[in-house]
Chains A and B, each alone.
Chain A
């Protein structure tokens, strides 16, 4: 029979804690690949490169839908009345206040480029529907105006703007934003 002294106790405790700590670090490290594998893979990211869109064929008043990173992008060639409606709203009365000038590129008031995904739960709003000259989401009834701003319904935010830049007067590149203020 051996007796266990207090000194042995603390050495054993140290070994238990050290072993447990190493095991915990190892388990955490093993989780990294298991969790990371679910993020977008290299081919998905590569396919998300910028795309160029020619604006010339889009008639005034027309809204087209293109895809970038599997997301629908709305490009709205706004008529004068659409622009005026968007600019003449009292910004402070909006659920997500933002003036129209912040939602278009300077000097390109007629072009509204939006990510066409309802900020509520991800449905695609229908164009030229609803009470605000913009979009109506069929899923839960959110309504957006001619600047893509939320006006009514459960969506918390305005339709998001994708990063894009005017390559020329009639061509945009979606996925790249050179004009972004630093």
Chain B
């Protein structure tokens, strides 16, 4: 695709600069003239929303770090100081804490969108895998940030998650001691989590650059899943995508602000307002909501090592999705069977999230096992077979034909 226009500054200073560092042209071709499919719907605005959320988390995180003390005796109180004494500290912390939840909400929608429209398929495999890497680093970052608060849930989340590695045969305990820097979760653990929690968002930002780069090489997918064939199929990024993304970000911020100002602790756990106590495990411990599906998978398997393997596989399997899905048709619009299995997958994933918040007994365990089974079957049985047996609907000739009907083509 040639794009709609090129960068040609009139200003002499800009011309002088552009000859020496053509960054203006790069920005122009990436975010102004860049051709985007004309049929993108609002599910495509979550990439922009995620970039916005990453920015919010980094900015609020840097200022929170100016008031936080990473020491077991002072961490909890320094967070309370932020809440009570620091100017606007309560706001900054609520923006950051709820920001993590909104970030994950957006990333889950973004991932489901990618799955529904087959955005991971050739030639976008690397783009998808980079996204899986970002998601993994996000999970690590979110977990370590939650530990920094050093409440009861922080402490016991740190204990349970680091103990996942004790399931590794032979060297598990050595690894866990190494992760802790002691014989239990303690001050060395808190210090290193603080260091890494500060670092990882910038790692995410770096991988996001690669993700966007890979996106701009392959071009965006779109609801039809067919590639743009002419300039009639695309519109320039600015003003079309910038305006649409900005509007979506504004709407997303309404929900975000509702959490911050009306129910700032709704997504948290009250026990995390009790300072960490290594002598007492809370009566009921649950992770943050965005980890619940994986927690449910872990608990559904009555064997420690297999449970941990299932937990990590359930995330790792995403990286193989481009090759597990054997269908040549991308979009679920033209895949009637895939569409049904996809929505069942959404139900299983969200259902596992619900079950992860429930006590591990009775019907909850049985349902967790059923959903876990479906989760894996979707990837390793259903997707490979669907590509062979599914009868897909006819694809439109072009994006513009699908939007305007045959007369527009």
Chain A: residues with CB nearer than 8 A to chain B? Answer: 35, 38-41, 44, 48, 65, 67, 69-72, 119-126, 137-141, 153-156
Q: Is the CB of B163 closer than 8 A to any CB of chain A? A: yes
Partner of B184, one of A41, A71, A119: A71
- In the complex, which residues of chain B have a beta carbon less than 8 angstroms from the beta carbon of A153? 302
Interface members, chain B 288-321 (any A CB < 8 Å): 299, 301-305, 307
Interface members, chain B 152-201 (any A CB < 8 Å): 156, 159-160, 162-164, 166, 177-184, 186, 188, 192
Partner of B181, one of A41, A67, A125, A140: A41
Contact (A154, B307) CB under 8 Å given A44-B181, A44-B183, A121-B160 = yes
Name the distance in Å between A75's Cβ and chain B's nearest Cβ.
14
* Interface of A, helix, strand, loop or mixed by DSSP: loop
C-alpha gap A71/B174 in the complex (Å): 16
Top 7 closest pairs, chain A to chain B, by CB: A70-B184, A69-B183, A122-B163, A123-B281, A121-B163, A121-B160, A124-B281
C-alpha gap A122/B285 in the complex (Å): 12
- In the complex, which residues of chain B have a beta carbon less than 8 angstroms from the beta carbon of A155? 304
- In the complex, which residues of chain A have a beta carbon less than 8 angstroms from the beta carbon of B188? 38, 40-41, 44
Name the distance in Å between B297's Cβ and chain A's nearest Cβ.
13
Q: Is the CB of B360 closer than 8 A to any CB of chain A? A: yes
Contact A122 B181 (CB under 8 A): no
Contact B279 A121 (CB under 8 A): no
Contact (A123, B285) CB under 8 Å given A72-B279, A141-B361, A154-B299 = yes
Give the residue name and chain of the B residue nearest to A39 (CB): B178
Name the distance in Å between A169's Cβ and chain B's nearest Cβ.
28
C-alpha gap A11/B144 in the complex (Å): 51
Give the residue name and chain of the B residue nearest to A120 (CB): B304
Partner of A156, one of B177, B183, B299, B305: B305
Contact B281 A138 (CB under 8 A): yes
Contact A139 B281 (CB under 8 A): yes
Q: Is the CB of B283 closer than 8 A to any CB of chain A? A: yes
Pick 11 A–B contacts, CB within 8 A, sort by A: A40-B183, A41-B181, A44-B183, A65-B279, A69-B183, A71-B183, A71-B184, A121-B160, A124-B280, A124-B281, A153-B302
Contact B282 A138 (CB under 8 A): yes
